[in-house]
Chain A
Amino acid sequence: MPRHAQLNNVDHRDLRVVVERGVTWGDAVMSALTFPAEFRDVQSRYPIVFQKAADGSLQPVALFGFEAGENLFLDARGWESGYVPMSIERQPFLIGLSADGAPMVHIDLEHPRVGTDEGTPLFRPHGGTSEYLEYISGVLQTLHDGLRETPTFVEALLRHDLLESFVLDLELDDGAQHRLAGYYTVHEERLAQLDAAALASLHRDGHLQSIYMLVASLSQFRDLIDRARKRRAAAA
């Protein structure tokens, strides 16, 4: 159960956070939220698809595996890839609202990364914020601003009918059929048929680049499937 607290240099003076990547630290997840401004960095390593939240809204996510709890980039040495999406990087921190409504850094005190023995300190001996915490603040701010752009982007995609549901059927070497379902991706045929007015409007609103980043990210499925095969072969 998460336990969120607004970070301060009195109660949390001695807290440390483990920054290594690993299963022990809660990184064995199949996907993570991303946002349009981050697509450029994410698409070179991970497929980006959309999933539906409980209220029906669509959210872009970077995929790390094909089943819940499977992160094919994570092994004993850490997270094997140059770029880790910000919604993973920011953990165990998050933005919460203070009593008077201002956004403030919060921490999940129950997160496995959080303790007083191991890891990087959050505050300097005299109470100032550490470099690490400054870095995290930057990540949180960028993430917060970036996620706010998502609904507008999704609305534009839906308005031009550019999303479709898809199913990926995989036959991995263990013979069993695996199915990735419940996700949505760019409808490339309709994208190719957009008229000049639609393209101009998407370009003007800054969405066109994001759309093509999404399309490009789908090539990463090849790598993801290879990783899945290798992992199963190694486990056999």
Chain B
Amino acid sequence: MRCRPPVHARSHLSRSIGHVVIVGGGSAGWLTAAILAAEHGPAASGELRITLLESPDVPTIGVGEGTWPTMRDTLRRIGVSETQFLRRCDAVFKQGSQFVGWVDGGASDRYYHPFVLPQRHFDADLPAAWAAREDAVPFAMLASFQPSLCEAGRAPKQAATPEFAAVANYAYHLDAAKLGAFLREHCTQRLGVRHVSDHMVGVEAHEHGDIAAVRTRDNGDLHGDLFIDCTGLRSLLLGGHYGIGSVCRKDVLFNDRALAVQVPHDDPAAPIACQTVSTAQRNGWVWDIGLSARRGVGHVYSSAHTSDEDAEVALRAYIAQSGGPRAEDIASPLKIAIEPGYRERFWHRNCVAVGLSSGFIEPLEASSLVLVELAAAAIADTLPADRAAMDLVAHRFNALFTYRWERVIDFLKLHYVLTQRSDSDYWRDHRCPETVPERLREQLTLWRHRAPSRYDLTHGEEIFPSASYHYILYGMGFRPQTPVLRAAAREAAEDGFREAAALARKMLQALPSHRELIDHIRTRDLPRI
């Protein structure tokens, strides 16, 4: 007897994907809604209906404040104006990160990870030439003009530069809560997304296991074909309903707590920082993100190595030392617990997690928002036509994003494993081989003799390209033992260094200060072309 699938299951597989229900707002929910709607919704002459269920009660995290340059393309793709975005989300320009005190905690221990690639990165062996030099110029300062711009407080473009265009590659520092509200408005008013402001009270499942609908308190059941879990750390659908567990990575990246505050600027005309400053502490590190009217400052630390009270003391000491108000004048910090890690599976049946519901690690390289962008783009670009295709799409999505999370973890660990600090167990523990992922250990062995290259990072679209590895490796003082460069190779690299210096000189002349440009944009629009 031939085995035929029951009629019910056959029709379930041929069901097309016509209605996507996103559960949860915030930057993850609304960015995902925007990206899907811009690609498949009525504004793009598409047929996909998108509904977002956002609870009016549940507060969003509100500390995710740095982006990557990809956010410029994302915002352009969804059709917002950069001028409006900058004004409404209190956003300023970010040109990279600066790591202070990670190598040995000495007075001159600071290095940049800028967004601009090293000059001639693909044509010349800059690391070998840098290592062979006698002087002590830090790698990033030599290889790129961008650190000079950051040191001089210059904006990465001019008033006349069109929206989203750059003179120097840049991203944003912003108020994440305001980003959510701004995107909600754009989604509902311009992209045809339906907003249901209500609380989820339950999940209705199909017999075969897919989610049929989410139950709301006052708006009935929201039926859909695909459900996107943007419910944050609680992961109500993927974690709560389906019970998908997480792969814990606390053994590699120890930090599992954060304390965050807002620190107002004393002087409204104070310079605005051009980069995220990440300052190492005894048992963690402090982020310092400058916006126009205030700084977002937070201490990320390991509860296994220090107490919440000591962590708060360290945070207040940092604030005082960095020119902030006295400890008594700061509000109580917001405390967040994070289990570093990611879901075993991100897409299960007809439910996929985006944002904190898919995983979380410390914001050392501001990876949280970019992972949202990448996940939403992947869903939009590979949206299955019907349920039959979905399992295969889900399987590939899971493989891709597992790879991406693992590479993020490798890359963050790279900031720690090369430290020379030994002022606490925390730093000593970070050097223990058992805490280093095997792939990273192997790569470090290879990197002793040649720089990270496309042979080490083999995916078509790596989340961190080889240039980023160069900036961290050599910023942490790792000196490769490469064979002596031939004269021609040395010349090619030195040309790159000279080019970086020449570009720095030119741009320092031509670019306004960061504060000047941000103040200008308050009242004057950036040109559209």
Contacts and interface: CB of A to CB of B under 8 A. Distances in A.
A174 interface: no
A155 B363 CA distance: 41
A175 B526 CA distance: 39
Given A55-B524, A56-B524, A158 B160 contact: no
B159 interface: yes
Given A55-B524, A56-B524, A164 B160 contact: no
A57 interface: yes
Contacts of A74: none
Contacts of A58: 527
A172 B75 CA distance: 42
B453 interface: no
Nearest to B526: A56
Contacts of A165: 529
B528 interface: yes
Contact of A158 (B158, B161, B529): B529
Nearest to B161: A56
B345 to A, nearest CB: 44
A57 B529 CA distance: 10
A158 to B, nearest CB: 6
Interface string B496-529: 0000000000000000000000001000111111
A137 B158 CA distance: 37
A163 B160 contact: no
Interface string B137-163: 000000000000000000000111110
A52 B160 contact: yes
Give the one of A54, A56, A163, A164 with max B CB within 10 A.
A56
Give the one of A52, A165, A184 with max B CB within 10 A.
A52
A132 B264 CA distance: 61
A229 to B, nearest CB: 31
A54 B529 contact: no
Contacts of A56: 158-162, 524-527
Contacts of A164: 529
A102 interface: no
B69 to A, nearest CB: 21
Given A55-B524, A56-B524, A184 B160 contact: no
Contacts, number: 27
Nearest to A159: B528
B517 to A, nearest CB: 11
A163 B529 CA distance: 8
A158 B158 CA distance: 20
A214 to B, nearest CB: 15
A53 interface: yes
Size category of the binding interface on chain B = 10 to 19
Nearest to B520: A55
Interface in A34-71: 52-58
A184 B525 CA distance: 18
Contact of A55 (B160, B162, B528, B529): B160
Contacts of B529: 158, 163-165, 184
Interface residues of A, number: 12
Interface in A152-166: 158, 163-165
A158 B159 contact: no
A163 B158 CA distance: 20
A26 to B, nearest CB: 26
Nearest to A163: B529
Nearest to A165: B529
Contacts of A184: 529
Interface string B150-190: 00000000111110000000000000000000000000000
A204 B16 CA distance: 47
A21 B466 CA distance: 60
A29 B524 CA distance: 29
A77 B160 CA distance: 39
Contacts of B160: 52-56
A117 to B, nearest CB: 41
A189 to B, nearest CB: 15
A187 to B, nearest CB: 10
B256 to A, nearest CB: 46
B227 to A, nearest CB: 37
B524 A158 contact: no
B527 to A, nearest CB: 4
Nearest to A58: B527
B515 to A, nearest CB: 17
A200 to B, nearest CB: 23
A50 to B, nearest CB: 9
Contacts of A54: 158-160
A52 B162 CA distance: 10
Nearest to B529: A163
Contacts of B520: 55
Interface in A85-144: none
A52 B160 CA distance: 7
Contacts of B525: 56
A57 B526 CA distance: 9
Nearest to B521: A56
A56 B83 CA distance: 13
A55 B526 CA distance: 8
Nearest to B160: A56
A52 B159 CA distance: 10
Nearest to A51: B160
A193 B525 CA distance: 27
A57 B520 CA distance: 13
A52 B526 CA distance: 12
Contacts of B524: 55-56
A57 B158 CA distance: 12
A184 B529 CA distance: 9
Contacts of B162: 56
A150 to B, nearest CB: 14
Contacts of B528: 158
Nearest to B524: A55
A44 B128 CA distance: 61
A58 B525 CA distance: 12
A116 to B, nearest CB: 40
Contacts of B527: 52, 56-58
Nearest to A157: B529
A58 B162 CA distance: 11
A194 B25 CA distance: 38
A55 B512 CA distance: 11
21 contacts: A52-B160, A52-B527, A53-B160, A54-B158, A54-B160, A55-B159, A55-B160, A55-B520, A55-B524, A56-B159, A56-B161, A56-B162, A56-B524, A56-B525, A56-B526, A56-B527, A57-B527, A58-B527, A158-B528, A163-B529, A165-B529
Given A52-B160, A54-B160, A55-B159, 10 more contacts: A52-B527, A54-B159, A55-B160, A55-B520, A56-B159, A56-B160, A56-B524, A163-B529, A164-B529, A165-B529
Interface of B: 158-162, 520, 524-529
Closest 9 CB pairs of A and B: A56-B527, A56-B160, A52-B160, A56-B159, A55-B159, A158-B528, A163-B529, A54-B160, A55-B524
